[in-house]
């Protein structure tokens, strides 16, 4: 229901102030020039073929005058054979050039689409995490795959055919003026009036195409989410609700398409009426001119044929013009993405890091995702090279934000973060993140083989190095049992593996990366006690000699950490080792005893003290009200 309301809200957002066509063209011209200039040779050849094609197309209507007035009326039969041969030759040339145009420009347009898709995908891949937080994956897929489709009409046969039609119309206009200035003037008057109406129509239809792109992205995004979360949908028996949400989006898309079809149909109707009115005028005026002897019959037939060449671009405007409007709308949306500033283009990031030791210092760091909603306050700590720093605290306390800052997904708004004494906000990200390893709670695997997913960390790794990482992370214990072993396809997001198996693959990937700074965000959360015990040695190997940051709610896993930071409400309340913090009897003691303390075990059934019931991805322990009250009384003794 929330999503459906959100989709409706998007539709109701006020439109931006309308800009004129010339303003839009000026904005898009640099992008158009960038696309056209590298292909100017192909376009030049295309226009040359188009000129030949159009000139040959004029031979047939021009020949009708000579056929009627000279061959038939005057009996000059010797002209019949050359006339027929000229028509056949022109038709053959016209067919060949049409084929060449389609092959040349259509393929060039498809190459342009492929290049644009690569460019947009590469650009989106370099955008900061905050951009992904604000845009759903389905919307981004639509930007990459759909929005660039329309540009085929800018480079392909559409634009060239349109220009060719205009050129033919100009030639036809001079021929028509030669035959009958009166009929030509009347026809031109109606065409000019209709052209003005078309200009107004296209200024109204273009926003419809632009809105269609937005709606399509929204619907595609929701569909992608629904398919990706099919287990959640089925688990809550929400198939009908998802179908209702999708149907609502499809209806909005249908309404938009129907609006555009209505506009296009009105333009087609107007063009047809124009053709009828002009035809009636030509018949009436032409007949009177023939009766008065001012126009020959052959000239009248030829006039009507050339008149079609003058009117044809009007019909082309209705078809090709809508395609170009759609292309410009898609290009505007693509341009919006390309104007987003990649995170690695920050002018401050000029320092190239060599191999690092891994000393990380937070010095009075403050941060907020939104103005006026600060989430970190005056956070300071030192993580020595090769040590383990654990972050504990309730959900929403700021632990994940600290981790994001260490990974340089965000930059602090206050204070400084340094790595080996270098301000992290000045460091080139490519030289830093290659020395960073991450094992997240929400393990992500690609729809490839086990080996491919592990090798993702270091594609140049040898088979032996990959197998060694698998052995350390205990991946071999289940992979060797599969029929295809390490070539087993894990499915989308690793769906064919259990949660513990996916986590082991993720740990093997981090081992292969051999990072200097390691981030473990609930790295064993998907493992049962037996599986966790099996890979503890692998984790020890992975953490050895590396600066490690651990987020854990199963507090028994961090007892050996060199320092523990207790984070709450964006502040570091306590810091120290497990022993010192436990002896302090403060917030850490409170969290720990809820899970493993003597007092809490008085009330917990056997085995329940080993696991913390969490609120969401990182919540506090949940306890029955009676237990909470009993613990409160015990502490007050």
Q: Is residue 18 part of a domain?
A: no
Asked if residue 200 and residue 65 are part of one domain, the reply reads yes
Asked if residue 204 and residue 72 are part of one domain, the reply reads yes
d(CA 420, CA 359): 5
Asked if residue 406 and residue 339 are part of one domain, the reply reads no
- The residue among 528, 510, 532, 525 whose CA lies nearest residue 618 is 525
Domain housing 614? 572-635
Q: Is residue 540 part of a domain?
A: yes
> What pLDDT sits at residue 6?
42
Q: Is residue 563 part of a domain?
A: no
d(CA 450, CA 439): 16
Asked if residue 315 and residue 389 are part of one domain, the reply reads no
Q: Is residue 185 part of a domain?
A: yes
Q: Is residue 42 part of a domain?
A: yes
Q: Is residue 50 part of a domain?
A: yes
Of the segments 104-113, 114-123, 266-275, which one has the largest average pLDDT value?
114-123
Return the CATH number at 150.
1.20.1560.10
Asked if residue 580 and residue 463 are part of one domain, the reply reads no
- Does the pLDDT of residue 625 top 60, yes or no? no
- Does the pLDDT of residue 440 top 50, yes or no? yes
- Does the pLDDT of residue 632 top 60, yes or no? no
Return the CATH number at 523.
3.40.50.300
Asked if residue 316 and residue 370 are part of one domain, the reply reads no
- Does the pLDDT of residue 453 top 90, yes or no? no
- Residues 365 and 547 sit within 8 Å (Cβ to Cβ): no
Q: Is residue 16 part of a domain?
A: no
Asked if residue 339 and residue 375 are part of one domain, the reply reads no
Asked if residue 367 and residue 291 are part of one domain, the reply reads no
Q: Is residue 355 part of a domain?
A: no
Asked if residue 590 and residue 474 are part of one domain, the reply reads no
Number of domains in the chain: 3
Last residue of a domain, one of 310, 343, 376: 343
Asked if residue 335 and residue 237 are part of one domain, the reply reads yes
Asked if residue 585 and residue 528 are part of one domain, the reply reads no
Give the Å distances, CA to CA, from 454 to 148, 372, 466, 515, 621.
33, 41, 7, 14, 33
Residues 6+ apart with CB under 8 A from 341: 127
> What pLDDT sits at residue 172?
80
Asked if residue 268 and residue 334 are part of one domain, the reply reads yes
d(CA 467, CA 475): 9
pLDDT digits (tens, 9 = 90+) for 509-568: 888 888 889 888 776 655 566 666 666 666 777 777 889 898 876 666 677 888 999 998
pLDDT digits (tens, 9 = 90+) for 212-252: 777 877 787 777 767 666 666 666 566 777 788 788 888 88
User: Percent helix, strand and coil across the chain, each rounded to 5?
Assistant: 65, 10, 25
């Amino acid at each position: 229901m929330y999503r459906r309301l959100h989709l409706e809200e998007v539709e109701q957002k006020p439109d931006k102030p309308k800009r004129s066509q010339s303003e839009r063209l000026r904005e898009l011209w640099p992008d158009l020039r960038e696309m056209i200039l590298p292909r100017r040779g192909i376009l030049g050849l295309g226009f040359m073929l188009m000129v030949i094609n159009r000139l040959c197309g004029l031979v047939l209507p021009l020949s009708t005058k000579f056929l009627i007035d000279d061959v038939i009326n005057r009996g000059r039969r010797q002209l019949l054979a050359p006339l027929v041969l000229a028509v056949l030759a022109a038709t053959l040339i016209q067919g060949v050039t049409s084929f060449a145009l389609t092959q040349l420009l259509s393929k060039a347009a498809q190459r342009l689409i492929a290049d644009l898709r690569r460019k947009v995908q590469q650009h989106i891949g370099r955008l900061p995490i905050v951009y992904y937080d604000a845009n759903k994956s389905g919307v981004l897929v639509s930007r990459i795959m759909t929005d660039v489709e329309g540009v085929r009409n800018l480079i392909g046969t559409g634009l060239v055919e349109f220009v060719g039609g205009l050129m033919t119309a100009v030639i036809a206009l001079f021929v028509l003026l030669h035959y009958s200035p009166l009929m030509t003037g009347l026809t031109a008057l109606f065409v000019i009036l209709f052209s003005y109406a078309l200009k107004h129509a296209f200024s109204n239809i273009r926003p419809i195409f632009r809105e269609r792109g937005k709606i399509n992205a929204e619907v595609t995004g929701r569909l992608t989410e629904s398919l990706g979360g099919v287990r959640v949908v089925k688990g809550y028996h929400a198939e009908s609700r998802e179908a209702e949400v999708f149907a609502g989006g499809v209806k909005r898309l249908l309404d938009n398409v129907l609006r555009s079809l209505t506009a296009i149909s009105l333009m087609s109707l107007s063009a047809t009426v124009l053709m009828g009115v002009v035809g009636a005028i030509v018949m009436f005026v032409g007949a009177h001119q023939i009766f008065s002897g001012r126009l020959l019959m052959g000239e009248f037939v030829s006039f009507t044929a050339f008149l079609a060449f003058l009117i044809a671009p009007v019909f082309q405007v209705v078809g090709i013009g809508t395609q170009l409007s759609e292309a410009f709308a898609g290009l505007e949306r693509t341009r919006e993405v390309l104007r987003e500033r990649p995170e690695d283009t920050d002018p401050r990031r000029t320092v190239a890091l060599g191999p690092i030791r891994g000393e990380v210092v937070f010095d009075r760091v403050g941060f907020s995702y939104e103005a006026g909603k600060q989430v970190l306050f005056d956070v300071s700590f030192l993580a020595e090279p090769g040590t383990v720093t654990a972050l504990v605290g309730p959900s929403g306390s700021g632990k994940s934000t600290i981790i994001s800052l260490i990974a340089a997904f965000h930059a602090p708004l206050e204070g400084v973060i340094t790595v080996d004494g270098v301000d992290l906000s000045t460091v080139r990200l490519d030289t830093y993140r290659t020395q960073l390893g991450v094992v997240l709670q929400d393990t992500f695997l690609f729809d490839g083989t086990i080996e491919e997913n592990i090798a993702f960390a270091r594609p140049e790794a040898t088979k032996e190095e990959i197998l060694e990482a698998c052995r350390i992370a205990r991946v071999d214990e289940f992979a060797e049992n599969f029929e295809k072993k390490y070539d087993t396809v894990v499915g989308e997001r690793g769906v064919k593996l259990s949660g513990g198996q996916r986590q082991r693959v993720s740990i093997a990937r981090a081992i292969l990366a051999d990072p200097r700074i390691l981030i473990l965000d609930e790295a064993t959360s998907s493992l049962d006690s037996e599986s966790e015990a099996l890979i503890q040695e692998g984790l020890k190997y992975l953490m050895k000699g590396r600066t490690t940051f651990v987020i854990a709610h199963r507090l028994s896993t961090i007892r050996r950490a060199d320092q523990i930071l207790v984070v709450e409400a964006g502040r570091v309340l306590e810091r120290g080792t497990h022993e010192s913090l436990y002896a302090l009897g403060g917030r850490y003691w409170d969290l720990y005893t809820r899970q493993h303390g003597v007092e809490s075990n008085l009330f917990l059934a056997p085995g329940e003290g080993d696991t913390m019931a969490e609120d969401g991805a990182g919540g506090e322990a949940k306890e029955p009200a009676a237990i909470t009250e009993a613990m409160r009384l015990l502490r007050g003794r």
